[in-house]
Structure 1
Amino acid sequence: MSQTTGARRVTAADIARSLGISRATVGFVLNDTPGQTISEATRTRVLDEARRLGYRPHIAARALASGRSRIVLLVLPDWPLDFNLRRNIEEASLALDEAGYALITYTPHPTGHARPLWETLQPDVVLAMAPWAPGQVESIRAAGVTRIIPDPDAPPQAEWHEEGPGLQVRRLVELGHRRIAFAGSADPRIVDLVAMRRTIAAAAAAELALDPLPTADIELTDASAEAALDGWRAAGVTAVVAYNDDVAAALVGAAHRTGLRVPDDLSVIGHDDTPLASMLEPRLTTIRVDTVGLGRFLAQLALATVEELPEPPTVGPDLRVALVERATTAPPTA
Structure 2
Amino acid sequence: MNQQPTAPTGTPTSADVARLAGVSRATVSYVLNDTAGGRVGEQTRQRVRAAAEELGYIPHAAARSLRAGHSGIVLLATPEITLGPLFSEFFTELRAGLRDHGYTAVIYGDNSGDGGDRAESAARIWAELRPTAVLAGVGTPLTPRSAELLRRSGTRAVITLADPPVAGVHALVLDQRRIGATAAEHLLARGHRALGVVVPTDRSLDLFSLPRLAGVREAVDGGIRVERLDLDYTEQAAARLAADWPGLGLSALFSYNDEYAMLLMSAFQDAGIGIPDEVALVGADDLMLARLLRPRLTSVQQLLPPGRTLADLIDRLIRHPDTPPEIHDLGTARIAVRDSS
Normalising to structure 2: TM-score of the pair?
0.80
CA contact (8 A) 1:179 1:210 kept: no
Aligned position for 1:180 = 195
**Which of 269, 280, 295 is the aligned partner of 2:307?**
295
Once residues 184 and 284 of structure 2 are traced to their aligned partners in structure 1, the CA distance between those partners, rounded to angstroms, is 12
Q: 1:35 to 1:222 in 2, by over 3 A?
A: closer
Aligned position for 2:168 = 154
The alignment-based identity, stated in percent, is 29
Once residues 302 and 312 of structure 2 are traced to their aligned partners in structure 1, the CA distance between those partners, rounded to angstroms, is 18
Alignment of 1:62-101 (within 5 A): 62-101=64-103
Once residues 227 and 118 of structure 1 are traced to their aligned partners in structure 2, the CA distance between those partners, rounded to angstroms, is 44
Map Cα deviations across residues 294-317 of structure 1 (whole Å, 9 max, x no partner).
63454344322212187987226x
AA paired with 1:315? Answer: D
Q: 1:7 to 1:259 in 2, by over 3 A?
A: farther
CA contact (8 A) 2:198 2:254 kept: yes
AA paired with 2:64? Answer: R
Aligned position for 1:121 = 129
Q: In the TM superposition, what is the alpha-carbon distance from 1:35 to its structure 2 partner?
A: 6.3
Range 126-135 or range 266-275, more displaced: 126-135
Once residues 245 and 301 of structure 1 are traced to their aligned partners in structure 2, the CA distance between those partners, rounded to angstroms, is 30
Q: 1:62 to 1:250 in 2, by over 3 A?
A: same
SS of structure 2 residue aligned to 1:270: strand
> Gapped runs of 5+ residues in structure 2?
none
Map Cα deviations across residues 30-78 of structure 1 (whole Å, 9 max, x no partner).
2233666322332333234434443322111100111121110011123
Map Cα deviations across residues 172-220 of structure 1 (whole Å, 9 max, x no partner).
23333333221121111122321110011111122xx651211211111
Alignment of 1:118-267 (within 5 A): 118-130=126-138, 132-133=141-142, 136-137=146-147, 140=150, 144-145=154-155, 147-150=157-160, 153-154=167-168, 160-162=174-176, 163-206=178-221, 210-267=223-280
CA contact (8 A) 1:76 1:108 kept: yes
Aligned position for 1:12 = 14
Q: 1:20 to 1:223 in 2, by over 3 A?
A: closer
CA contact (8 A) 2:242 2:271 kept: no
SS of structure 2 residue aligned to 1:289: strand
SS of structure 2 residue aligned to 1:321: strand
AA paired with 1:28? Answer: Y
RMSD: 3.3
Kindly indicate whether residue 286 of structure 2 is the aligned counterpart of residue 273 of structure 1.
Answer: yes
CA contact (8 A) 2:74 2:133 kept: yes
What is the number of residues matched between the two proteins?
321
AA paired with 2:211? Answer: M
Kindly indicate whether residue 334 of structure 2 is the aligned counterpart of residue 322 of structure 1.
Answer: yes
